[in-house]
């Protein structure tokens, strides 16, 4: 049982201003695996004050100092790597292999990437007799989600730290264990007091106080579109910058010249990764109508090969969804798909056979859907694929873009040139051709209601910087 009931403020572990214990649930067992404390406005005030005080000195540190600090964090992270992976597996049900290779690996990758970018990032430029400087924006409030917990923490913390910002982090209260371990890593690395602060809590208690705070200069939020709009509303009166990485309902266009077996298999397994709990998951598979029956057969075969079960068991490829709330939401949307007339190819409601406990979902595929069905419009955030037939390529592009979201898109074709042509017409921040993965040096973010701003790599530095022009700087 983990007891993580203190907050990390001004370089110290401190008790909350008021006792408010919260149970952390292991989604594979439905049992309590830890306790945290939920903070409040007083805790936020204390953390923000520490960050504001630290900004005065940390914002003017040298590039070399911050390079050394990031390098120390990399080493401290490596020393706790398995602890990070174990916490992620326990708090949100990621299978051990996924937790070790992808979840914990992404955290280390973002810190290392920020360290690399910082080596030669241009913080100033000359324009004639004038000079333009890029300066740290100030105190950054960070609210991160439960689905890729350390990935989302590090892709905010690392660039903010690299450019000289100070910060207050609120990890998800649903999966807070890895955030606590990460805070221990920051302390072990010698991050100066007040530069990094962590307060656990929920949206109303901590998220709102952070978003509204007059001394917070920027809010960086990852989560649902609904919650993102609340953060923006709360931040508006103080005119602080708000960046958001929100939901998605990403299309995967399988073109007529694609290798159908490879395209369906790859697209479906990508969607099933992390139990479908990824905002950029390719959840709408667009298939030529003449090949729909064949695609269904491939999808059924692939789904039946997925091993759902205990995240710690060898051979498990899919764990549970994160919580009872998510489990019930997904069950309701599967029922909605059936009620609205989509064809259930495989899966459906209830737990997989042999699993009586835990928030496990059957790998589910719907077909013969249209883009107006609920399962094609709403972000399900579970292992549920919606296959939509199309007659022409133009229709496929139209369906792909007919969504409130625009985080990612996927195009499968036997011709790279053909895939490029279609990709150029997809309204999304990230488009993947023929199964290509995104590198951590590539900007990540979305169009439309999938958010604003970009994370990862050099582009991830930009949102944490203010631009100052000094005219007459050169004689």
Cα–Cα dist 208/201, whole Å = 10
H helices then E strands: how many in the chain?
Answer: 16, 21
Task: State the alpha helices, DSSP H only, in 312-353.
Answer: 324-339
Angle at 276 between CA 83 and CA 243, to 5 degrees: 75
With beta carbons less than 8 A apart as the criterion, state whether 99 and 311 touch: yes
Q: Which of 90, 173, 184, 245 is catalytic?
A: 245
Q: What is the CB-side half-sphere exposure of residue 434 using CA atoms within 13 A? A: 12
Cα–Cα dist 361/327, whole Å = 7
279 is catalytic: yes
User: Cα dihedral angle (316, 317, 322, 327), rounded to 10 degrees?
Assistant: -100
With beta carbons less than 8 A apart as the criterion, state whether 278 and 147 touch: yes
Cα–Cα dist 429/447, whole Å = 6
Residue 82 CB: number of other CB atoms within 10 A?
12
Cα–Cα dist 164/60, whole Å = 7
Q: Which of 155, 184, 279, 379 is catalytic?
A: 279
**Structure-block tokens of residue 389:** 């037939």
64 is catalytic: no
Cα–Cα dist 207/172, whole Å = 10
Contacts of 446 (CB under 8 A, 6+ apart): 245, 246, 248, 405, 406, 407, 408, 428, 429, 430, 452
Residues known to be catalytic:
245, 279
């Amino acid at each position: 049982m983990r007891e993580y009931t203190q907050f990390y403020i001004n370089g110290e572990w401190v008790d909350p201003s008021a006792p408010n214990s919260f149970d952390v649930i292991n989604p594979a067992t439905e049992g309590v695996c830890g306790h945290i404390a939920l903070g409040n406005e007083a805790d936020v005030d204390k953390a923000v004050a520490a960050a504001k005080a630290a900004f005065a000195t940390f914002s003017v540190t040298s590039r070399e100092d911050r390079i050394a600090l990031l390098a120390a964090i990399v080493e401290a992270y490596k020393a706790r790597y398995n602890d990070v992976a174990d916490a992620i597996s326990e708090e949100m049900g990621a299978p051990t292999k996924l937790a070790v290779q992808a979840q914990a690996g992404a955290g280390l990758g973002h810190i290392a990437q920020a360290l690399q970018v910082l080596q030669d990032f241009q913080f100033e430029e000359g324009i004639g007799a004038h000079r333009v400087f890029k300066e740290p924006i100030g105190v950054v409030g960070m609210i991160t989600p439960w689905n890729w917990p350390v990935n989302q923490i590090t892709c905010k913390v690392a660039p903010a730290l690299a450019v000289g910002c100070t910060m207050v982090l609120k990890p998800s209260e649903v999966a807070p264990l890895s955030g606590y371990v990460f805070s221990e890593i920051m302390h072990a690395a010698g991050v100066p007091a007040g530069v990094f602060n962590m307060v656990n809590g929920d949206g109303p208690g901590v998220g709102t106080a952070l978003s509204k705070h007059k001394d917070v200069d920027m809010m960086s939020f990852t989560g649902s579109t609904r919650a993102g709009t609340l953060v923006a509303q709360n931040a508006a009166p103080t005119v602080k910058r708000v960046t958001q990485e929100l939901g998605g309902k990403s299309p995967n266009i399988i073109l007529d010249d694609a290798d159908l077996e490879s395209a369906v298999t790859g697209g479906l397994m990508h969607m099933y990764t992390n139990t479908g709990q990824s905002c950029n998951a390719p959840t709408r598979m667009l298939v030529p109508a003449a090949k729909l029956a064949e695609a269904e057969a491939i999808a059924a075969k692939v789904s039946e090969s997925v091993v759902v079960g205990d995240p710690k068991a060898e051979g498990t490829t899919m764990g549970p969804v994160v919580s009872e709330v998510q489990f019930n939401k997904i069950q309701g949307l599967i029922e909605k798909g059936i009620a609205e007339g989509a064809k259930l190819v495989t899966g459906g409601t209830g737990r997989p056979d042999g699993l009586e406990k835990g928030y496990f979902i059957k790998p589910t595929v719907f077909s013969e859907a249209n883009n107006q069905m609920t399962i094609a419009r709403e972000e399900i955030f579970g292992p549920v694929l919606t296959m939509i037939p199309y007659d022409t390529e133009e229709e496929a592009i139209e369906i792909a873009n007919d969504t409130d979201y625009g985080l990612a898109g996927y195009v499968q074709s036997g011709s790279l040139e053909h895939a490029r042509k279609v990709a150029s017409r997809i309204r999304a921040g990230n488009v993947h051709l023929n199964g290509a993965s995104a590198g951590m040096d590539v900007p990540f973010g979305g169009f439309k209601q999938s958010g604003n701003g970009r994370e990862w790599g050099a582009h991830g530095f930009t949102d944490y910087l203010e631009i100052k022009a000094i005219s007459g700087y050169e004689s």
